[in-house]
Amino acid sequence: MSDFNVDISTVDNVVVVKTHGYLDDAGGQVFRQKCVDLIDKGNVYFVFDLQGTPVINSTGLSMLLDIMVQIIDYNEGEVAVCGLSKLTQTALQMTGVLTLCESYPTEEEAIAAVKEAMA
């Protein structure tokens, strides 16, 4: 099992969360806690860059979905995802995650879409 970590940056009030490693049970906990901390500080505009995460298991998907619901439904925020592998794209489609947000080929396009939604 590889270590999972998250890099966080901000571009024009959009929080970019870059994941690295397998988004499984342990990785999902790390991801969820980082995002909850950011939401608790008032952040509601996110881009999840999953390029460094080629595989997500069911628990990881569940935590990703939970965070998106918190941001979008409970905090009236916006989420976009980018950097999806074919496998993660399929998993996000099958679980309905991509009904909550849009997927973009690049981080720049995802940030631009979230910024547009902020206006």
pLDDT tens digits for range 44-71: 999 999 999 988 999 999 999 999 999 9
pLDDT band at 119 (very low <50, low <70, confident <90, very high): confident
Residue 85 pLDDT exceeds 70 = yes
Residue 107 pLDDT exceeds 50 = yes
Terminal Cα-to-Cα distance of the chain (whole angstroms) = 42
pLDDT band at 2 (very low <50, low <70, confident <90, very high): low
- How large a percentage of the chain has pLDDT more than 90? 92
Place of tokens 């439904």: 73
| Pair of tokens at residue 93 | 């489609």
Residue 3 pLDDT exceeds 90 = no
pLDDT band at 17 (very low <50, low <70, confident <90, very high): very high
- Confidence at residue 1, expressed as pLDDT on a 0 to 100 scale: 47
Radius of gyration over alpha carbons of the chain, in Å?
13
User: Cα(98)–Cα(65) distance, rounded to whole angstroms?
Assistant: 9
- Confidence at residue 31, expressed as pLDDT on a 0 to 100 scale: 96
Burial class (CB in 10 A: 0-12, 13-18, 19+), 52: middle
Centre a 10 Å sphere on the Cβ of residue 31 and count the other Cβ atoms it contains: 24
Which residues have a Cβ under 8 Å from the Cβ of 70 and sit 6 or more positions away?
35, 36, 39
| Pair of tokens at residue 10 | 């901000």
Mean pLDDT across the chain, nearest whole number?
94
